[in-house]
Chain A
Amino acid sequence: MSISKFFPPAIHRNDDSVEVGPRRDKRPFGQNRRGSASETKTGIMPPKPGWEIDLSELLVKARVEAIERDVSDLKKSINQILNIIEHTKAIPFASPIVTFAPELFKLSTPLNVVLTQVENGYIASFPEANLGSSGETMHEAIENLKDLILTVYREFESMDDDSLGPAILKQKTILFNLIQRSREA
């Protein structure tokens, strides 16, 4: 709401007098057309001189109170949103790995990575192959997980299946199905 609603623009006249608001009647407040303050037909006492200033103060006060209420409501809303964010932090969410660039490996399908916020950063895990890493930021956690996946992949390349237990053999099968070395490698 504009403040001009409560403070109408001043009207400057040729005789250097200034009239505030849309009032056109030049007679003093409280006087009727006959020029007497006491001569009212209705019998209601006319307002005291300076009542406009009092009204302005009241309007300003009312407006300030309304603004204070709005600010208080906004504070409550912000606190509610912050609470929601705080609870959401603990909820894991998925983010795909679509490339290993600049490493010369290609993916047959994006890897579904689960990101979870912990005390000192983020945990990025690839549950399908039971691999995980961490980082201070989400980006760092994903980059570290990429590094781990490729390190494990390279290790698997030099290992026979006979030397792997069932869980690790499954891990190898999943990684070899999803990741291939690029032809340029």
Chain B
Amino acid sequence: MAKITKDHAEKAAKKLSATIIPGAKHDIAKIFYENKLIAQFGIRRGSKKDLPHDYVPEQLHLTKSQFMEFVLCRISQSDWIALLIQKGIVETMLKSSDPDEKTPHRRKKPGRPDS
């Protein structure tokens, strides 16, 4: 498993359109969704690009392999949000008014009579 560096953390923050709050030893990357802070992680300050940032995936509720997929653009931001909603970490306000929409309909095959 490839190690996660500052470069990866910065790429993830950029991809998530994170708001960067500068600190003494860390910049805090804050990720908002529907005006709510849903995740945040620290990016260590310093010129070294190979500083270990192996703690970042956990703070984004991802495994290391998922995080690397995310950084390498194989997982999109919307996929990540969907994963967080699925895990119950994010509550979306964009709820459907139709209650039946929660359970997907099974489409009837054309021409088959109702039983």
B26–A144 CB distance below 8 A: yes
B23–A120 CB distance below 8 A: no
Give complex CA distance A132, B37 in Å.
18
B52–A147 CB distance below 8 A: no
A165–B36 CB distance below 8 A: yes
Q: What number of B residues sit within 8 Å (CB to CB) of A?
A: 32
Greatest chain B CB density within 10 A among A122, A147, A155, A167 is at: A167
Q: What number of A residues sit within 8 Å (CB to CB) of B?
A: 26
B44–A118 CB distance below 8 A: no
- Residues from chain B with Cβ under 8 Å of A131 in the complex: 42, 59
Within 8 A of A (CB), among B3-59: 3, 21, 23-26, 28, 30, 33, 35-42, 44, 50-56, 58-59
Given contacts A118-B3, A125-B55, contact A147 B23 (CB under 8 A): yes
A21 located at the interface, meaning its Cβ lies under 8 Å from any Cβ of chain B in the complex: no
- Residues from chain A with Cβ under 8 Å of B58 in the complex: 125, 130, 132
Question: Nearest B residue to A162 by beta-carbon distance?
Answer: B36
Kindly identify which residue among A125, A155, A165 contacts B90, using a CB–CB cutoff of 8 Å: A165
- Residues from chain A with Cβ under 8 Å of B37 in the complex: 159, 163-165, 168
Contact surface of A with B, Cβ cutoff 8 Å: 116, 118-123, 125, 130-134, 144, 147-148, 151-152, 155, 159, 163-168
A-B contact pairs, 22 of them (CB 8 A): A119-B52, A122-B52, A123-B52, A125-B55, A130-B59, A132-B55, A133-B55, A134-B53, A148-B28, A148-B42, A151-B24, A151-B28, A152-B28, A163-B35, A163-B36, A164-B37, A165-B33, A165-B90, A165-B91, A167-B38, A167-B89, A167-B90
